[in-house]
Structure 1
Amino acid sequence: MDVLRLCISSEEYHSLRRRRRRRAIASSSSAAASSASAATSSSSFKRSLKGGLRTVARKGASTMADVRTPLLRSYGLLQKEQAWGDLEDSADLAAQFQSSVSIGDHAFSQMEDDIDKQRLLGGQPAYATADPETASMTSDLQHKQRYERLLRRAKTEDLSEVSGIGCLYQCGVDKFGRPIIIFIGKWFKFNEINLEKAILYLIYLLDPLVRGDYVIVYFHTITTTENHPSLAWIREVYEVLEYKYKKNLKAFYIVHPTLWTKIMTWWFTTFMAPQIKHKVHSVPGVEYLYDIIDQDQLEIPAYITEHDMTVNGIRYYKPGSASS
């Protein structure tokens, strides 16, 4: 300090000391203010804590949550706690949303490519375990797709080996103008014919006709066990055909019925297709058909007419008024 005083004037020396004293005083004042602020904050914190405890004691806290909220509010931490809670709720919601839209869990997204093969193997389609509405929609879609595939095949594949047999054909119309489908049972060799192509030919022949009303006449005349289709195959054919086949079928006549046809008809229309039961009629002779079909509209093999005359005679039935 003495060296500094020798180098500068007396006035400059005293001015420098005054500035140093002012800085020291200012620094001391700032420290005192900080200390006072800390003491005040500490005192305020203690007062808030005591106030929170008094609130809890006054209202009566039955659970930890009742204690926690007033204290957090006293500490000024409630907003932070709520922010963390909102964040956790958002995370939970995101997890729930992710699980709710998990792709591949819905029955519709698990549709099999070949439901027919799965049925033949005795398996149960995945949609069968879904809720009824989804199962119904999926089943209808599968059925429609299957029929459309068969219809495309029926229009493109060679079916001459089935059509050449002559057991199924369309001839004339009845008295109401409805097309008549003839099925000759004796010419249908169940164990020899290609059953898949038989279904395709059935679809090929009937699809353009069943858009309106139609009638089927099945002649069971002089058939044997080799002409009897299995109940399983009859059911398969019925399930393959679309709803329009059942809806627009107005009558199914069985001519020259036997015990076998009666049992099969009762079983099928009772347990498999009750909705067409009132449309199936068994008639003992050809002439009973003349009520609804003019004789010149009915083209049938000669052996059927000969057998009918042998069994029933000639002019055994006089047609009455037309009935559907």
Structure 2
Amino acid sequence: MESITIKELEGVTPEYQDLLDKANRIDFSALAASNCLLPVGTDQEGVPLFLINAASLPSMDKMEEFLIYFIKTLEPVVVSNNYSLIYSHALLKPESTPDRNWLTNVYKILPRNFKKNLKTLYILHPSTWIKFLFMAMSPFLSEKVWNKVVYLDYIQEIPGVLDRNAILSKIPQETKDYDDKLLENPEITEKVVTSMDTLGKELLSVFGSSFNLFSSVDPSKWQSAFNGSNERSAYYDDK
């Protein structure tokens, strides 16, 4: 994969440059074969769409390699164009669940292009925790960021503005089977799968510790987090 000129990216950090340097020493063939990150056509406006299959993500000891693979794949696109992501959250394995420090560092490392040029983030099969997380943090997210998130509870909800055939051809069969079970038993959608619950708690901890708002990942034990807190965080206020 060819890399663009680094000066064309906004807000490049030394850590990001270090990841690019490591890319030249990594064999990405196993990641590519796993189908954890795939291009899946464009939307009706010609904006490229990429699919992240959580069920195919590597274990955390290989997650830095996935991050570099993600960067190298999207870098030529984000430098000057919009892009969208569809994140298939179902069947994420516990050993593939990043901790809060990893998630926070990734957000800091990525240049601004990756954030401001994201058109839409589709979350397929979202967990209850992820939905609640975005809801709880809405006072601190800019309206532009909030409007980029679209939840898709079922595969059939993938909008027609996307290339549905391309997406379906790349979604793992186990995820399709999971979706079939949801359709047969809609009440399952209200249950938090252990691995998905774990990721939600980790994400929640990231935000909670950043703002010192939440004393627990249990919403019933949260303090009145939003009283007197009308300021938005610039840290999460990307376009």
Please tell me the TM-score bracket, short chain as reference. 0.5 to 0.7
Corresponding residue to 1:247 among 99, 116, 128: 116
Higher relative contact order (CA 8 A, sep 6+): 2
Corresponding residue to 1:303 among 165, 174, 178: 174
> How far is the alpha carbon of 1:182 from its aligned partner?
0.7
Report the secondary structure of 2:34's partner residue: coil
> How far is the alpha carbon of 1:186 from its aligned partner?
1.5
Report the secondary structure of 2:76's partner residue: coil
Amino acid in the other structure paired with 1:200: I
Given that 2:58 and 2:66 are in contact with CA atoms closer than 8 Å, whether structure 1 keeps it comes out as no
Matched residue, 2:88 = 219
Change in 2 beyond 3 A, CA 1:271/1:225: farther
Matched residue, 1:194 = 62
Structure ranking higher in helix proportion:
1
> Which consecutive residues of structure 1, in runs of 5 or more, have no partner in the other structure?
1-139, 314-324
> How far is the alpha carbon of 1:224 from its aligned partner?
4.4
Given that 1:169 and 1:183 are in contact with CA atoms closer than 8 Å, whether structure 2 keeps it comes out as yes
Within 2, Cα distance between the matches of 1:266 and 1:190? 28
Within 2, Cα distance between the matches of 1:176 and 1:157? 34
Aligned residues: 173
Amino acid in the other structure paired with 2:181: T
Matched residue, 2:183 = 312
Structure 1, residues 128-153: CA drift from partner, whole Å, max 9, x if none?
A: xxxxxxxxxxxx99844432332233
Given that 1:269 and 1:275 are in contact with CA atoms closer than 8 Å, whether structure 2 keeps it comes out as no
Given that 2:11 and 2:111 are in contact with CA atoms closer than 8 Å, whether structure 1 keeps it comes out as no
Structure 1, residues 72-106: CA drift from partner, whole Å, max 9, x if none?
A: xxxxxxxxxxxxxxxxxxxxxxxxxxxxxxxxxxx
Within 1, Cα distance between the matches of 2:137 and 2:37? 21
> How far is the alpha carbon of 1:264 from its aligned partner?
4.4
Given that 1:154 and 1:203 are in contact with CA atoms closer than 8 Å, whether structure 2 keeps it comes out as no
Matched residue, 2:197 = none
* Residues 1:203 and 2:102 are matched in the alignment: no
Within 1, Cα distance between the matches of 2:139 and 2:99? 17
Matched residue, 1:228 = 97
Amino acid in the other structure paired with 1:216: L
Computing the radius of gyration over CA atoms, which structure comes out larger, 1 or 2? 1
Given that 1:235 and 1:272 are in contact with CA atoms closer than 8 Å, whether structure 2 keeps it comes out as no
TM-score by length of 2: 0.61
Within 2, Cα distance between the matches of 1:274 and 1:228? 28
RMSD of equivalent CA atoms: 2.9
Structure 1, residues 181-219: CA drift from partner, whole Å, max 9, x if none?
A: 11111222444x423222211111111122311110011
Amino acid in the other structure paired with 1:242: P
Within 2, Cα distance between the matches of 1:274 and 1:156? 40
Identical residues among aligned pairs (%): 26
> Which consecutive residues of structure 2, in runs of 5 or more, have no partner in the other structure?
1-8, 185-239
